[in-house]
Structure formats: C-alpha cells, structure tokens
Chain A
Amino acid sequence: SAVISQKPSRDICQRGTSLTIQCQVDSQVTMMFWYRQQPGQSLTLIATANQGSEATYESGFVIDKFPISRPNLTFSTLTVSNMSPEDSSIYLCSVAGQGGTEAFFGQGTRLTVV
C-alpha cells in the first residue's frame, strides 16, 4: 500500500493567481497521476507525471495552465496557473500499485477561486 500526503487540503484564491499543490508518497513510485473533480462531477485525469521526463497531459489540459514537477520518485507538484472561478475543483493526486492492485489517492485539495 501507499500513503499519500497532499497539501494544502483546501484554499481560497483570488482569480489570476496561481496555486501549487504538493503530493508526497511514502514509497517510491514510477507514475503519479493528477485528477480534477469539478463540483458534482466525476474525476478527470489531468496528466501523468513520470520522474525524469515531462508530464503527459490529457486532452483539454495544457502544461502552461497546469505545470507539473516530478523531481523524484516520491514527490510531485501540480500548479494551477492564472486561476479563474472555473478552476474551482477538488484536485487529487494518485499513484498506482503493481499491476492488478488498487490505485491510491491523496485526500485532495479543495480549491475555490473567487
């Protein structure tokens, strides 16, 4: 299993500013995933973060808006840049165990943009 610590747990930000979300895992993992959950919606994958290479973004998400860092095998950050109220969501980081095992989620960051 993996224990994921995600910070901050929540924040209220002004539009036009940026917020960096941190995700720390208690073990080394190859891939980390960042998801967004808009109010009342399902989870949508933003990007896959691999250590030592650029993140792979899903359709509809771009690096300029959601830059990701992955400096080592236990840590990643997601930045939400130039925020607007439409960015108000829960952001979750996740790691995958070995094939055939569950994915683990952090507790999420509840972001409100005003």
Chain B
Amino acid sequence: QQPVQSPQAVILREGEDAVINCSSSKALYSVHWYRQKHGEAPVFLMILLKGGEQKGHEKISASFNEKKQQSSLYLTASQLSYSGTYFCGTEMAGSARQLTFGSGTQLTVLP
C-alpha cells in the first residue's frame, strides 16, 4: 500500500525551511528518502530504520516515528539546489526489500 506523502508541493525562498511527511498504514522496517530532478534518476538522501532513529546530512535531516509509522524530512536553510521532487520509499517488515514509494512532494526553491 502506497505511503501517504504531504504536502504535494511547496514553494520556498532560499534560506527558508520545509518539512515533508510520509506515513504508512503498514508496519515499516525502514523509510528511504530520495530526491529526483527532472529527467534524472532518483538520488538517495538517507535511510531511517525502525527505532525512532534520526539522521542528518548537511542541512537535511529526517526522523522516523515507529509507533506512528511516520517519517519526516527536514530541509533547513534551503538552497536552490534543493529543488526537485522528493519521494519517500517504504520497506515493510518482512518484505523482500522492495520499496513502495509515496506520490512525491514537488519542492521549488526560489532566489
């Protein structure tokens, strides 16, 4: 079952912050976050494993609330290069490691 991703789109000014949410009705083993620019393959950002682990990568961080089966991606002090479509990919517990992707969040960062 496809995870629910929100918001569908967000427009920011450079330097502003954004949060993208991903929730599932299924028990998850992990949540993967990807960014995709137009015409390109998805680029891996980070993976969150069950256990409420929070990770960070430069100004991009994420959390995973195992109880709620929700993950959030935090973009702080956004840069123009952050523009793109963000997808969460969920891996269910006991699955064969295939991912089910959310519908995506289109992020536009303006100068």
Binding site for B on A (CB under 8 A): 31, 33, 41-45, 48, 56, 90, 92, 94, 96, 99-108, 110
A92→B101 CA distance, assembly (Å): 13
Q: Which of A31, A41, A100 contacts B96 (CB 8 A)?
A: A31
A10→B103 CA distance, assembly (Å): 24
Known A41-B103, A42-B102, A43-B42; 18 more pairs at CB < 8 Å: A42-B2, A42-B103, A43-B87, A43-B101, A56-B96, A90-B41, A92-B41, A99-B29, A99-B97, A100-B47, A100-B49, A101-B47, A102-B47, A103-B44, A103-B89, A103-B99, A105-B42, A108-B41
Number of interface residues of B (CB under 8 A): 22
The secondary-structure label for the interface of chain A is strand
Using CB atoms, name the residue of chain A closest to B46: A102
- Would you call B100 an interface residue if the criterion is a C-beta within 8 Å of the partner chain's C-beta atoms? yes
- Would you call B35 an interface residue if the criterion is a C-beta within 8 Å of the partner chain's C-beta atoms? no
Using CB atoms, name the residue of chain A closest to B48: A100
| Residues of chain A contacted by B87 (CB below 8 angstroms) | 42-43
Binding site for A on B (CB under 8 A): 2, 29-30, 32, 39-42, 44, 47, 49, 87, 89, 96-104
A31→B98 CA distance, assembly (Å): 9
Using CB atoms, name the residue of chain B closest to A44: B101
| Residues of chain B contacted by A107 (CB below 8 angstroms) | 40-41
Taking A103-B44, A103-B89 as contacts, is the C-beta distance between A42 and B101 under 8 angstroms? yes
A-B contact pairs, 7 of them (CB 8 A): A42-B104, A43-B99, A44-B101, A45-B98, A45-B100, A101-B47, A104-B44
| Residues of chain A contacted by B99 (CB below 8 angstroms) | 33, 43, 45, 94, 103
A101→B39 CA distance, assembly (Å): 25
A42→B99 CA distance, assembly (Å): 12
* Shortest distance from the beta carbon of B38 to any chain A beta carbon, whole Å: 10
| Residues of chain B contacted by A100 (CB below 8 angstroms) | 30, 47, 49
